[in-house]
């Protein structure tokens, strides 16, 4: 599921377009953990929207950005 969400975000695709491209691209399937070429999408396309919906609020994005900044500061201090 994480691989699908990454590809969706990286290529700015709709759920339906992601399904179509995933089905025709063995590299994307391997990236998402499949060992053999698949002819059916591994989940319902609407589940992609439900999977990312809770973190889409402004508060969720702001908290995530703050966490990434604090992690970066800790890495800089460790050097």
Note the pLDDT tens digit of each residue in 48-67: 776 555 555 555 556 666 66
pLDDT, greater one: 64 or 11: 11
pLDDT band at 21 (very low <50, low <70, confident <90, very high): very high
pLDDT, greater one: 74 or 25: 25
The overall pTM is greater than 0.85: no
Q: Left if phi > 0, otherwise alpha if psi is -120 to 50, otherwise beta: which for 13?
A: beta
Q: In total, how many domains does the chain have?
A: 1
Q: What is the pLDDT of residue 50?
A: 63
**Range of the structural domain that residue 55 is part of:** 2-78
Name, in order, each residue with C-beta under 8 angstroms of 49's C-beta and a sequence gap of 6 or more.
Answer: 15
Q: What is the pLDDT of residue 79?
A: 47
Name, in order, each residue with C-beta under 8 angstroms of 12's C-beta and a sequence gap of 6 or more.
Answer: none
């Amino acid at each position: 599921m994480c691989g699908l969400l990454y590809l969706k975000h990286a290529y700015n695709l709709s759920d339906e377009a992601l399904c179509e491209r995933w089905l025709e691209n063995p590299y994307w399937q391997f990236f998402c953990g499949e060992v053999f070429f698949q002819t059916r999408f591994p989940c319902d396309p609407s589940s992609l929207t439900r999977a990312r919906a809770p973190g889409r609020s402004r508060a969720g994005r702001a908290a995530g950005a703050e966490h990434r900044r604090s992690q970066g500061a800790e890495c800089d201090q460790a050097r």
